[in-house]
Amino acid sequence: MSLARGKKKYATKSKTMGTNWDDAKDRMKTHYPTEMARLAKEAGRTRVKSAREAAYKEMIDVVTAADFAAAVAGKEDKWYDNYVDAMFE
């Protein structure tokens, strides 16, 4: 996929990200602890810090679909710039 197509795809997907956020809230709360525990072990650590885990779970409920949609809308240029900066010298 070209970078221009990726940028267009982000712009298109951002229109449904709020709905997807709302639909995924419960899955995220149950998936997060298990996945973060796996990553902690990979990093040679014991577990995710309790404060981080609690904040993550709390913020999932606080952020609404409208909040999330507003946060990602129109950010395709930012997505593109971040992707290019992270991937290429």
> Tell me, what's the pLDDT at 78?
94
**pLDDT tens digits, 46-68:** 988 989 888 888 888 888 999 98
| Domain housing 30 | 3-87
> Tell me, what's the pLDDT at 45?
93
CB count in 10 Å sphere of residue 18: 20
Question: Number of structural domains, the chain?
Answer: 1
**pLDDT tens digits, 78-89:** 999 999 999 999
**pLDDT tens digits, 8-20:** 999 998 888 888 8
The two most distant CA atoms of the chain are separated, in Å, by 41
